[in-house]
């Protein structure tokens, strides 16, 4: 018994030592970064900018894999089940918190299925429409939508997506249900908006800035507490009379639960370097956002954010009584 215990202890020691050695050499191969929405959308844009910088720092390629569907929960589920070896991570947004309540039978337990790397950025949303949508400003859009609630269509990226959350907030503020059209991400939704197949959408500035600047879509309002420097002419939704209509889309990087702490730490340091890069600050500013400060790009800060955001949205969703299932 004593011998077998000693052997078990020795084996554990060997495994721990091997783990420590591999954490020191990490990463030894390419890393997959799962984006739980379609390519070409706002989450994908943020992920690709960050992946490129982290990849240069880590000395290994980071391959962005788009796993869209079910408002981001399919991609998150993929990472929840992946090997916790540091070679799979997830870049996801606020939907990680809202989907924990919106889906009563999620395939993973949000607070227990992941480890944390850090926060990446907080992005405002914009309320936009196809270019030839009749109303010319926020006030007339509100009137028009109320008068045409049976025909106006609202695109989103599925239940749990930021566009879904913002769309729900809009419908609840106007007290009208609209016909919603779900996509695997707002990249493809934007294609349809540009093509005139759908009328309205709420989406992050990381997807809408170029279209707004190029006047290929009509923009009505921003969801940030203050107006944005890049669109000084656009009112906030609150200024437009919708009390409490304020939402910022925070993004974080997660790994599967059980990933060695040293690996999460290494990824976090790499994320902090990426966020401190002047190039990232410039690209983010062009897209209406800014990098999270180094103190937020840590496992602890993301864990705290996720926990507090689940607690913040749970009563709101429960009061609305809207669930994915």
Residues within the interface to ligand ASP (CB under 6 A): 37-38, 41-44, 95, 156-157, 161-163, 185-187, 203-204
Q: Quick one: CA torsion of 210, 213, 217, 219, rounded to 10 degrees? A: 110
From the DSSP assignment, how many helices (H) and strands (E) are in the chain? Answer: 11, 9
Q: Chain centroid to CA 207: how far?
A: 12
Nearer to ligand ASP by Cβ, of 26 and 183: the residue is 183
Determine whether 274 is exposed, middle or buried from the number of CB atoms within 10 Å of its CB (0-12, 13-18, 19+). buried
Q: How far is the CB of 226 from ligand ASP (least distance, A)?
A: 21
Q: How far is the CB of 266 from ligand ASP (least distance, A)?
A: 26
Gyration radius of the chain's alpha carbons: 21
Nearer to ligand ASP by Cβ, of 48 and 314: the residue is 48
Nearer to ligand ASP by Cβ, of 138 and 250: the residue is 250
Nearer to ligand ASP by Cβ, of 70 and 275: the residue is 70
Nearer to ligand ASP by Cβ, of 163 and 259: the residue is 163
- Reply yes or no: is the peptide bond before residue 22 cis, omega within 30 of 0: no
DSSP output for 296-308: GSSHHHHHHHHHH
Q: How far is the CB of 161 from ligand ASP (least distance, A)?
A: 3
Nearer to ligand ASP by Cβ, of 259 and 292: the residue is 292
SS3 call for 184: coil
User: Rounded to the nearest 5°, which phi and psi values hold at 177?
Assistant: -85, 140
Q: How far is the CB of 23 from ligand ASP (least distance, A)?
A: 31
Find, among 201, 207, 240, the residue nearest to 224 by Cα.
Answer: 240
Q: How far is the CB of 172 from ligand ASP (least distance, A)?
A: 17
Nearer to ligand ASP by Cβ, of 77 and 187: the residue is 187
Q: How far is the CB of 183 from ligand ASP (least distance, A)?
A: 8
Cβ contacts of 105 within 8 Å, gap of 6 or more: 325
Q: How far is the CB of 143 from ligand ASP (least distance, A)?
A: 26
**Cβ neighbours, 10 Å, residue 18:** 10
């Amino acid at each position: 018994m004593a011998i077998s215990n000693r052997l078990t202890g020795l084996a554990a020691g060997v495994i721990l030592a091997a783990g420590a050695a591999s954490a020191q050499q990490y990463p030894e191969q390419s890393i997959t970064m799962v984006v739980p929405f379609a390519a070409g959308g706002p989450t994908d844009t943020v992920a690709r900018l960050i992946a490129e910088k982290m990849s240069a720092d880590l000395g290994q390629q980071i391959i962005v894999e788009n796993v869209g569907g079910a408002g981001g929960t399919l991609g998150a589920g993929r990472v929840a089940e992946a090997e916790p070896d540091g070679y799979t991570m997830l870049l996801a947004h606020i939907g990680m918190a809202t989907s924990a309540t919106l889906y009563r039978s999620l395939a993973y337990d949000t607070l227990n299925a992941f480890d944390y790397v850090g926060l990446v950025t907080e992005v405002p949303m914009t309320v936009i429409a196809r270019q030839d949508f009749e109303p010319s400003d926020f006030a007339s859009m509100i009137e028009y939508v109320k008068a045409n609630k049976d025909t106006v269509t609202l695109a989103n990226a599925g239940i749990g997506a930021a566009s879904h959350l913002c769309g729900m907030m809009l419908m609840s503020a106007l007290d009208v249900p609209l016909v919603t059209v779900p996509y695997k991400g707002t990249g493809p939704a934007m294609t349809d908006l540009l093509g005139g197949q759908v009328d309205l959408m709420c989406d992050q500035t990381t997807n809408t800035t170029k279209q707004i600047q190029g006047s290929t879509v009509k923009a009505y309002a921003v969801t940030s507490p203050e107006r944005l420097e890049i669109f000084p002419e656009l009112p906030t939704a609150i200024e437009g009379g919708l009390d409490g209509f304020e939402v910022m889309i925070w993004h974080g990087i997660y790994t599967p639960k059980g990933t060695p702490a040293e690996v999460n730490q290494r990824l976090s340091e790499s994320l902090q370097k990426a966020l401190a890069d002047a190039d990232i600050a410039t690209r983010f500013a062009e897209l209406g956002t800014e990098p999270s400060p180094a103190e937020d790009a840590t496992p602890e800060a993301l864990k705290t954010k996720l926990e507090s955001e689940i607690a913040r949205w749970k009563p709101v969703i429960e009061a609305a009584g809207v669930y994915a299932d």
